[in-house]
Amino acid sequence: MNTPHPASPVSRRKFLGQLSAAAAFLAAPRRVQAGDAPMPPRRLGVALVGLGSYSTYQLGPALRLTERCRLAGVVTGSRAKGREWARDYGFPEGNIFGYDTMARISGNPDIDIVYVVTPNSLHAEHCIAAAKAGKHVICEKPMATSVADCDAIIAACRAAGVRLTVGYRLHYEPHHAEFARLARERVFGPFMKMEGANGFEMDSSATAKTSWRLDKVLAGGGPLMDMGVYVVQAACMAKVEAAPVAVTARFGPVTRPEVFSEVEESISWTMEFADGAAAHCRSTYDERVSSFRAEADHGWARLEFPAFYYDEPLLTTSRGPVKLPEVNHQVAQLDGMAKELLEGRPSIAPGEMGRRDIAIVEAIYAAARNGRRVEVGA
Ligand code: NDP
């Protein structure tokens, strides 16, 4: 896959070299003697940072099913919650850390990967702490709330010689992978006309109103940061991971000002690509929508509802429906990332991809604010 390149090719080579060395170490069996039965492949230890909804209902349960990794520890603001997780998942209480004691993870041999699942604007602080502790990092989407923070995370991971990936589960989902193949192999020709949407209905309850998702500082933005980033991803995937050259955008009307006083309620935008292709996209906290369609000269492909949700997406092309195995997205992603690491292969969802997407998101917000076409910066 043609992923964006970090600034310096030399540092990228060095970085990949460090990854291979780390992979060789991680992959090394702990004890091998003549006559022994073959050792099962090592399962990497993952520590989840932030035990909220996504950790509790998706990632934790997925880590009970993964073959290449397992839950080995947690970082949480609640020691009591940490103890509950230790009991439930069978790891020692010594593997419970606080946000202020993340440095201590460095001496813990059970933990290979730290997976940051906190509110968006805290990703940088927690990823950097994980890298400084010498552990590989998975950062949830969106990677951060600014390109500057993405750069700081990438720099910290490079300095520590650890791998950085973004929790882009759909790259490991078979229907999305097939969609990427159709684009890469130009099965219908290059996709030139695209249209996508992703959103859910944010309720107006008192609890919803206190959610960090509605807090500009913690979330970095509204549905674009949360759900729209998947549409940005799909459009780049349809263009074989190229970034758009420019964007235009418009905020939707605010119909519930008591809920959306800090972040946008909805937003629509267009991504223009170097070859003249265009993607018309939208994201909203007002409606359950989730779909993406891409058209080329000789055919089309469509990811229908629930294209970006956790369930099996429906993929149809101009040749008919495409039936592929249904997978648990988080199991596929976690095992996929662990396997890449153990085999010393580059990740298909590296930090540079997360940074690319935040550069696009920043350009979309700038375009919506000033009503002009904005070029997407490097
Ligand atoms: P939640 O609000 O449910 O959980 C966030 C957790 O972060 C909290 O429970 C808390 O854990 C910790 N935390 C630390 N500091 C703060 C703070 N200042 N305010 C609030 N929480 C804090 O969020 P989600 O689990 O839904 O989302 C977390 C991240 O995961 C986001 O970046 C989101 O975009 C991403 N996500 C990704 C999905 C995907 O499909 N890839 C799906 C859903 C979310 P503790 O009490 O343990 O300290």
User: In this model, does residue 36 exceed pLDDT 70?
Assistant: no
Residue 377 identity: G
Lowest mean pLDDT among 19-23, 200-204, 363-367: 19-23
Active-site residue numbers? 141, 230
Which residue, 181, 267, 185, 182, is CA-closest to 232?
A: 267
Q: From CA 26, how far away is CA 4, in angstroms rounded?
A: 26
Distance 150 CA to ligand 1 centre (A): 18
Task: Indicate the angle between helix axes 174-184 and 229-238, nearest 10 degrees.
Answer: 40
DSSP structural state of residue 243: P
β-strand pairing of 193-201 with 164-166: unpaired
DSSP structural state of residue 105: G
pLDDT at 312: 87
Distance 299 CA to ligand 1 centre (A): 40
Q: Which atom of ligand 1 is nearest to the CA of 118?
A: 7
Calculate the CA dihedral of residues 96, 102, 103, 106 and round it to 10 degrees.
50
Distance 127 CA to ligand 1 centre (A): 14
Measured in whole angstroms, how far is the alpha carbon of residue 248 from the centre of its chain? 24
355 within ligand 1 shell (Cβ under 6 A): no
Pocket test for ligand 1, best of 59, 126, 140 (most atoms within 8 A of CB): 140
Q: Whose CA is nearest to atom 9 of ligand 1?
A: 52
Distance 324 CA to ligand 1 centre (A): 31
Mean per-residue pLDDT for 323-338?
A: 97
Q: From CA 19, how far away is CA 343, in angstroms rounded?
A: 10
- Contact (Cβ atoms closer than 8 angstroms) between residue 113 and residue 137: yes
User: 87 to each of 64, 74, 76, 97, 191, how far by Cα in Å?
Assistant: 14, 12, 15, 15, 50
Global pTM?
A: 0.91
List, in sequence order, every beta strand (DSSP E) within 35-82.
Answer: 44-49, 69-75
Q: From CA 328, how far away is CA 306, in angstroms rounded?
A: 14
pLDDT at 13: 41
222 CB neighbour count, 10 Å cutoff: 27
Confidence of residue 205 (pLDDT cuts 50, 70, 90): confident
Alpha helices in the chain (DSSP H): 9-27, 53-54, 60-65, 79-89, 123-132, 147-160, 174-184, 206-209, 216-219, 223, 229-238, 329-342, 351-370
Lowest mean pLDDT among 16-25, 173-182, 332-341: 16-25
77 within ligand 1 shell (Cβ under 6 A): yes
User: In this model, does residue 71 exceed pLDDT 60?
Assistant: yes
Question: Taking all residues of the chain, what is their mean pLDDT, rounded to a whole number?
Answer: 91
pLDDT at 19: 42
- Contact (Cβ atoms closer than 8 angstroms) between residue 228 and residue 198: yes
175 within ligand 1 shell (Cβ under 6 A): no
Distance 51 CA to ligand 1 centre (A): 7
Q: From CA 280, how far away is CA 288, in angstroms rounded?
A: 18
pLDDT at 41: 67
Pocket test for ligand 1, best of 55, 118, 215 (most atoms within 8 A of CB): 118
Lowest mean pLDDT among 31-35, 297-301, 315-319: 31-35
Confidence of residue 40 (pLDDT cuts 50, 70, 90): low
212 within ligand 1 shell (Cβ under 6 A): yes
Q: Which residue in this structure is represented by tokens 């030139």?
A: 192
Percent with pLDDT over 90 in the chain = 85
List, in sequence order, every beta strand (DSSP E) within 273-308.
Answer: 278-284, 286-296, 299-304
Q: Which residue in this structure is represented by tokens 């375009």?
A: 367
Which residue, 69, 310, 322, 301, is CA-closest to 196?
A: 301
50 within ligand 1 shell (Cβ under 6 A): yes
3-state secondary structure of 289: strand
pLDDT at 204: 86
User: In this model, does residue 29 exceed pLDDT 80?
Assistant: no
> Which residues have CB under 8 Å from 56's CB, separation 6+?
none
149 CB neighbour count, 10 Å cutoff: 22
Q: Whose CA is nearest to atom 15 of ligand 1?
A: 118
Sheet of strand 69-75: strand arrangement: 96-97, 69-75, 44-49, 113-116, 136-139, 164-166
Confidence of residue 37 (pLDDT cuts 50, 70, 90): low
120 within ligand 1 shell (Cβ under 6 A): yes
> What is the C-alpha R_g of the chain?
21
Q: What is the pLDDT of residues 256-305, one digit of tens each?
A: 999 999 999 999 999 999 999 999 999 999 999 999 999 999 999 999 99
Confidence of residue 236 (pLDDT cuts 50, 70, 90): very high
Distance 182 CA to ligand 1 centre (A): 34
